[in-house]
Amino acid sequence: MKSQKSSRLRQLTRDQTDMLVRIIREDSGDTVTRPEFNDSMLLILENIAGLEALSIRASTRILGRLWKEYRAACQSRP
């Protein structure tokens, strides 16, 4: 059984989500494909304590959320 602490390490705060989306946009712009986004984001996540060894299920969930936020940010283009 997984502990709550372990589960919380695999969740991102709003600030973390915004920061990660900003990093991808600054590095690659607003035209990144989903596979390119996933590859770039997984490389970044490998360097974040608590996220370096995500299960496939957890990484899929996080990548889905980050992709949704990335697309929304690209649409608004601040």
Give pLDDT, residue 78: 58
Q: Given this model, what pLDDT does residue 5 score?
A: 41
Provide the pLDDT for residue 75: 92
pLDDT in tens, 9-54: 457 899 999 999 999 999 999 999 999 999 999 999 999 888 888 8
**What's the pTM?**
0.82
* C-beta separation of 59 from 37 below 8 A: no
- Contact status, residue 42 vs residue 24, Cβ threshold 8 Å: no
